[in-house]
Amino acid sequence: MSRSEHAFQTLREAILGGRFEPGAPLKYSELQELCGVSVSPVREAMTRLVAAGLVEGEHNRGYRAASLSLAELDDLVRTRVEIESLALTRAIAFGDAHWEAAAVSGLHVIEVLPRRQADDPSLHNEEWEVHHIAFHRALIAACTSPLLLQFSHMLSDRADRYRRFSLTLEAPDRDVAAEHRAILDATLARDGAKACRLLAEHYRNTARYVREALAANEA
């Protein structure tokens, strides 16, 4: 892995993981120390992070972690539902037994892993988070369109920042595992319309808690 790729991956994970608050300034000296590289690879990484929507550039004022807003949230959810519904429909049409097995395996992992940290239930288990993303990506992996997957993954990264922001407000009676299981069951049954409807409901359910978190933060 090149130094610029290492810097990009390190900073991307730091931003998605909440190390930098939304809107927080990003200082090159701190970023270099975090990545353990010189300024040049960090500059290259920042350019890519701006393109990915995770970092915002300010004219003559450097960079900051991308801010969060209700307007962008609504746009993200709407666009993600449309794009991933297309990808899931294609995956159901073209997916084979290996694709099915990967999706089943992906769900099994997040059903077995604890979703929250044992020592602090208000915090989510980072290992679960990683495999949660992997499960959603496994569902659409057979769509046969690299561009569609690339766009879906970019939207997933941007949406994940919002989802993590709202984790502590999620209602205890929400059965996320059941939502995942229902999406997978419809997918394996090759019922594209139902699978896409359940996927959309799953993302919109999450968005409800994000809106509450953003409203509380603005207040």
Residue for token digits 């049954």?
A: 189
- Supply the pLDDT for residue 123: 64
**Predicted local confidence at residue 3, as pLDDT:** 87
Q: Quick one: DSSP state of residue 95?
A: -
Q: Write out pLDDT tens, residues 161-211.
A: 888 776 655 666 789 999 999 999 999 999 999 999 999 999 999 898 888
* Cβ–Cβ under 8 Å, residues 83 and 153: no
Alpha carbon of 99 to those of 82, 138, 160, 180, 186: distances in Å?
A: 21, 7, 24, 16, 14
**In the chain, ranges of CATH 1.20.120.530 domains:** 70-218
- Adjacent-strand bridge partners of 55: 65
Place of tokens 């307007």: 71
Q: Where are the alpha helices (DSSP H) in 95-191?
A: 97-112, 126-140, 146-165, 176-188
> Hey, what CATH topology would domain 70-218 get?
Four Helix Bundle (Hemerythrin (Met), subunit A) (1.20.120)
Kindly give the confidence (pLDDT) of every residue in the chain, 219 residues in length, as a single tens digit, with 9 standing for 90 and above: 788 899 988 888 888 777 888 888 888 888 898 999 888 989 999 998 888 888 988 766 788 888 888 889 999 999 999 999 999 999 999 999 999 999 999 999 999 998 877 776 656 678 898 899 999 999 999 999 999 999 999 999 888 888 877 665 566 678 999 999 999 999 999 999 999 999 999 999 989 888 887 877 665
CB proximity list for 196: less than 8 A, separation 6 or greater: 85, 88, 89
**What is the distance between the alpha carbons of residues 104 and 98, in angstroms, rounded to a whole number?**
10
- The answer to whether 80 touches 88, Cβ cutoff 8 Å, is no
What separation, in Å, do the N-terminal and C-terminal C-alpha atoms of the chain show?
43
Residue with tokens 């995770």: 54
DSSP letter, residue 124: E
Q: What is the DSSP letter of 66?
A: P
- List residues bridging with 58 in a β-sheet: 62
DSSP letter, residue 61: T
Chain Cα centroid distance, residue 196: 18
Q: Are 139 and 148 in contact (CB under 8 A)?
A: no
Give the tokens for residue 9. 């991956």
Q: What is the CATH number of domain 3-65?
A: 1.10.10.10
Residue ranges matching CATH 1.10.10.10 in the chain = 3-65
